[in-house]
Amino acid sequence: MAWVNLSIFTNNELADQLSDQLLELGAVSTSIQDKNLNQNNEEMIFGEPHNGPQEFWQHNQIDALFDSSVDLQSLLKSLEKNTGVVFDYLISDVKDEDWVKKSQEQFSPIRIEKNFWIVPSWHEVINENAINLVLDPGLAFGTGSHPTTHLCLKWLIKNVSQNSSVLDYGCGSGVLSIAAKKLNAKDVYAVDIDEQALQASQDNAKSNRVNIKISHVSIPIKIQADLVVANILSSALSVLAPALANYCKARGKIALSGILEAQENEIKAIYQQWFDFEESFYKDGWVCINGIKVK
């Protein structure tokens, strides 16, 4: 089947409305992005936690995918009639490809340490003697490619021992929980607020043939773990500090990520009443802070 892409350029006030209308007019999919993406005047709107509630960029590009049989000129006239606006736009052909294969090509095995790899299920294992965690991209956060996940994995590799109990708070795909179990942790607990994350963790644990205890955050956590790891938004880490500290045993350790380097001191200031900090890990502007519980 042949496809065409319609790109419409508009302001932030019309972006959401136009996206909905394009779907109603037969678009297979739509997406909204900054018109100036990857240029010097690219606009940042998701720099939590301080940028406020702005939802769209000032100058937006809406991309809509259509079957090539659709009369896009008539469709544009209909849009302009409905909105009273004449749009700048571009129409381009989309090459028919094996989209599954193309998507898979974006994800290759990731080496965290010499003997620890994250491997998509469609790739061959590179080192049979290493710890190989099988993980495919999905709806839940955590493929190992993001710097914060990478940093937390390095911390786990350094700190998990055979008798460790581990709590993964905000488990996402379950990558950290599964890694802890593959590193021979005794008991691993994974919690999240998102039902899709819990299902992803369950599925990924099964694929890796490990047993982790998975539950929703609404269910009381009645354990204190040797190791607590939380790779979530810094704003959530701020609010959850007393709870996360309580889930950690005396002289236990904690690792916190999802933190930009500029936010490091702010988060440390909140947690320092419970923890003495060790050397932080850094990667691509992100940081994993970690410490030992002393109070």
Same domain, 213 and 175: yes
Q: Where are the beta strands (DSSP E) in 12-140?
A: 29-34, 59-67, 88-94, 110-113, 116-119, 131-134
| Same-domain check for residues 139 and 238 | yes
Q: What is the value of pTM for the model shown? A: 0.68
Q: What is the pLDDT of residue 61?
A: 92
Asked if residue 215 and residue 133 are part of one domain, the reply reads yes
| Tally of structural domains, the chain | 2
pLDDT of residue 46: 47
Please write the tens of the pLDDT for every residue from 233-243.
999 999 999 99
At 106, the pLDDT band (50, 70, 90 cuts) reads: low
Q: What is the pLDDT of residue 94?
A: 85
Structure confidence at residue 232 as a pLDDT band (50, 70, 90): very high
The answer, yes or no, to whether residue 22 has pLDDT greater than 80, is yes
pLDDT on residue 138 = 60
User: What CATH number is associated with residue 148?
Assistant: 3.40.50.150
Alpha-carbon distance of 110 to 156, in angstroms, equals 16
pLDDT in tens, 241-286: 999 999 999 999 999 999 999 999 999 999 999 999 999 999 999 9
Q: Distance between CA atoms of 204 and 191, rounded to whole angstroms?
A: 14
pLDDT of residue 110: 86
Do 150 and 274 share a domain, yes or no?
yes
Q: Are residues 134 and 275 in the same domain?
A: yes
Domain ranges, residue 121: 104-293
Residue after which a domain boundary falls, among 54, 69, 96: 96
* pLDDT tens per residue, range 158-189: 999 999 999 999 999 999 999 999 999 999 99
CATH code where residue 28 lies: 3.30.70.120
User: Residue 255: phi, psi to the nearest 5?
Assistant: -130, 130
Task: Check whether residue 287 and residue 162 sit in a common domain.
Answer: yes
Out of 96, 113, 137, pick the residue that ends a domain. 96
Please count the other Cβ atoms lying within 10 Å of the Cβ belonging to residue 60: 23
CA–CA distances in Å: residue 248 to residues 161, 203, 265, 269, 291: 16, 27, 21, 18, 11
Ranking 37-41, 123-127, 141-145 by mean pLDDT, the lowest is: 37-41
Give the model confidence (pLDDT) of 24-66 as tens digits: 999 999 999 887 776 666 665 544 444 444 566 888 899 999 9
Amino acid sitting at position 19: S
